[in-house]
Amino acid sequence: MCGIAGIVALNAAAEPPSRAALLRMAAALSHRGPDESGLYRDRRAGLAHTRLSVIDLSTGQQPLADTGNTTWIVFNGEIFNYVELRDQLIALGHRFRTRSDTEVVVHAYRAWGVGAFERLNGQWALAIWDSLTGRLVLSRDRFGICPLHLCEHAGRLHFASEVKAIFAADPAIPRAFDPAGVDQTFTLWTVVPPQGVFQGIQELTPGHVRIYDNGSVR
């Protein structure tokens, strides 16, 4: 179990993500990844990760980039068929710097786009940031084993493994229960994604991909 989080400016008027906000998000998720934490930040996006080391304990630090250092990923989960995918990618000419399943995912995305997620056998929640195109890709496994929450506020997208990390990023984000989410929680013992417990905060639906592409969402 790891923790992922991030902030992305959705328009030119939004302030760049601050290092302090990303550190607060990481601190709120420290219990999910006690081994180490890491940050990535540019003028439009920031990513945070807290790691529980499972595969490639020595070199699997995140956020992790492709060999061109332009496509960045934060990943929570485990890919069971990453060795087979790695071999396929090597045959296509990809070169790897680690033995981690996370690096396989970022290279798979570079090779096959969002179709890469259909090839994954495992459990995951992830965010991929393409710093060249300004595109953010969010994905969650088919069964929703790994959580991923989303909130758009003040021209920014905030996302995290747990809602409290979103609240930690910006004290101005409203903290109010959503009646529909509360009703589902007491009736079903859970919410049905994308419904969330708090107003303005959704869960990414299991098995879905959401793309933020320079102001458009699909």
Where exactly are the structural domains of the chain?
A: 3-175+205-217
Active-site hit among 1, 2, 134, 135: 2
CATH of domain 3-175+205-217: 3.60.20.10
pLDDT above 90 for 170 = yes
What integer pLDDT is reported at residue 43 of this predicted model? 92
* 116-135 residue pLDDT tens: 999 999 999 999 999 999 99
| Start-to-end C-alpha separation, the chain | 28
Report percent pLDDT > 70 for the chain: 96
Q: Determine phi and psi for 33, rounding to 5 degrees.
A: -145, 80
The predicted-structure confidence for 55-64, as pLDDT tens digits, reads as follows 545 566 899 9
User: What amino acid occupies position 99?
Assistant: R
Q: Which pLDDT belongs to residue 36?
A: 81
The side-by-side arrangement of strands in the sheet containing 201-203 is 36-41, 45-51, 3-9, 156-160, 149-153, 201-203
pLDDT higher than 60, residue 100: yes
Position of tokens 């903290």?
Answer: 175
Residue 2 falls in the annotated catalytic set:
yes
